[in-house]
Amino acid sequence: MAHAADSLVVDSVTGVDVSLEVAGTGARSLAYLIDLLIRTILVTAWFVVATLIYNGKFTLETPDDPDGTWYLYVATPATLIYLLYHTVLEIAMRGRTPGKRMAGIRIVARNGSAPTIAAQLVRNVFRLIDSFPVGYGVGLFTCLVTRDHVRVGDLAAGTLMIYENRRALTVAGSLPLAANDRRLDLATLELVGELLERWGALESTARVRLARSLIERVTGVAPEPSMTEAVLHAEIERLASPVRGGTSL
């Protein structure tokens, strides 16, 4: 694995070097602000609804001497939603949150794969440090001064943020691209490589079905029914050919 300016170059299972563009401080900040808004809305909504149910009337008055029921159904869930928002969603969405998805970024391990649950937990525990003294001051400072724009939590967990919509390569070949200019992303490249590797071990019907599905996924155009298995295999090889020989995505 090697580094380039503002990018991470990794070896995929296909033997092709893939360059992942590291997200800058601006994109990270945008994602955080979106997630903060969503998190605040969720916490507020829970608090309002739970308080109304607890009070049994249309008032948001907090009891002067809250009992265990109030903490159990109102305060504790609202606190957990706020504190665990990033941890739960990043694990469930494989390195993403709604804010990160809208900003076009995601969390990956240093080898370009999805981070493990342990790495996600470590990364989020270190939010306590990154949030000091106020407004994620420490995290913002480390993002500005580190080469890969990472905060303390990323350094501890071995993760970084990349752009999802910029690590792409236009697919050359005889099949035309769709009007929206579909791209060969890292996940699709891995599938292409795995299919080529297992081609001989798969049954004919299975590899034809998978080949047709991958070609349509990349190009946006379904292969002609008349295309033979040999032609489909050639097209699958063609999908990976633009990046063979170490050319980066």
Question: What tens digit of pLDDT does each residue of 49-93 get?
Answer: 999 999 999 999 988 889 999 999 999 999 999 999 999 999 999
Mean pLDDT of the chain: 81
Instruction: Report d(CA 15, CA 1) in Å as an integer.
Output: 12
Residue spans of alpha helices (H) in 56-126: 68-70, 76-92, 98-103, 117-125
Beta strands in 73-226 (DSSP E): 105-109, 159-163, 169-170, 183-184
Residue scoring higher pLDDT (229 or 238):
229
> Does the pLDDT of residue 101 top 80, yes or no?
yes
Instruction: Report d(CA 36, CA 42) in Å as an integer.
Output: 10
Q: What pLDDT score does 247 carry? A: 39
Q: What pLDDT score does 171 carry? A: 37
How does residue 245 score in pLDDT terms, banded at 50, 70 and 90? very low
Of 189-198, 227-236, 238-247, least confident by mean pLDDT is 238-247
- Average pLDDT, stretch 20-36? 92
> Does the pLDDT of residue 131 top 60, yes or no?
yes
Stated pTM of the model? 0.66
Task: Name the residue ranges covered by the structural domains of the chain.
Answer: 8-163, 169-241
Instruction: Report d(CA 227, CA 215) in Å as an integer.
Output: 12
How does residue 8 score in pLDDT terms, banded at 50, 70 and 90? low
Q: What pLDDT score does 236 carry? A: 84
Instruction: Report d(CA 211, CA 191) in Å as an integer.
Output: 10
Question: What tens digit of pLDDT does each residue of 9-24 get?
Answer: 655 544 445 567 899 9
